[in-house]
Amino acid sequence: FDPRSVELALALVSRWGERAPQALDATRTRAAVLEAPGVLRFRDRPLPEPAVGEVRLRVLSTGVCGTDVHLWKGTLGAPLPLVLGHETVGVVEARGEGVTLPLGARVGVPWAQASCGACAHCTTGHARQCLRLWTWVELGGGYALHARAVASACVLVPGSLTSEEAAPLMCAGHTIETALVRASVRA
């Protein structure tokens, strides 16, 4: 239990009435936009169009992670304005060129979405340390009705998990799994 996460969640809830769009046309969506440290507002935005290798998701659930809290508080920098939320589960609604992920698939989106594939980190199995790592920050997060993601990074979510259960696994779950792998834990 992290009280900082509750603080960000309360900031979102305090503006909850703003989340519903007045009247959006088919080219617009709604998102909670971090405009400055501590300033989070629901805004109408252009519907994200997936580029080559990307998908557009209709967001079902997004967790509140410590990184979101640090960005919101301004203790971690990123280009603003920014849509927070990197523990996202959604349904594939549109596909960019070259994507085979089926429309309607329910997927989770992790923090790291793509790496360069050619640097020393990538070629030695440490792609998450790539100096040109492509993350949710570049694409926008999941505190929105719609989000973009790199299709090859998306993980199919099994029917046995609710979207709310699966969302935190996209970051916190990966963190725990990484520790277990590095510790060579066996059953």
- The pLDDT score that the predictor gives to residue 22 is 64
- The pLDDT score that the predictor gives to residue 19 is 62
**pLDDT averaged over every residue in the chain:** 87
Q: Tens digits of per-residue pLDDT, 4-26?
A: 667 777 777 666 666 665 667 88
DSSP letter assigned to residue 70: H
- The pLDDT score that the predictor gives to residue 180 is 81
- The pLDDT score that the predictor gives to residue 143 is 93
- Nearest CA among 170, 108, 141 for reference residue 32: 141
- The pLDDT score that the predictor gives to residue 2 is 62
The whole-angstrom separation of Cα 135 and Cα 30 is: 21
- The pLDDT score that the predictor gives to residue 8 is 74
Q: Which amino acid is at 70?
A: H
Answer yes or no: pTM beyond 0.85. Answer: no
What residues of the chain score a pLDDT lower than 70?
Answer: 1-5, 13-23, 174
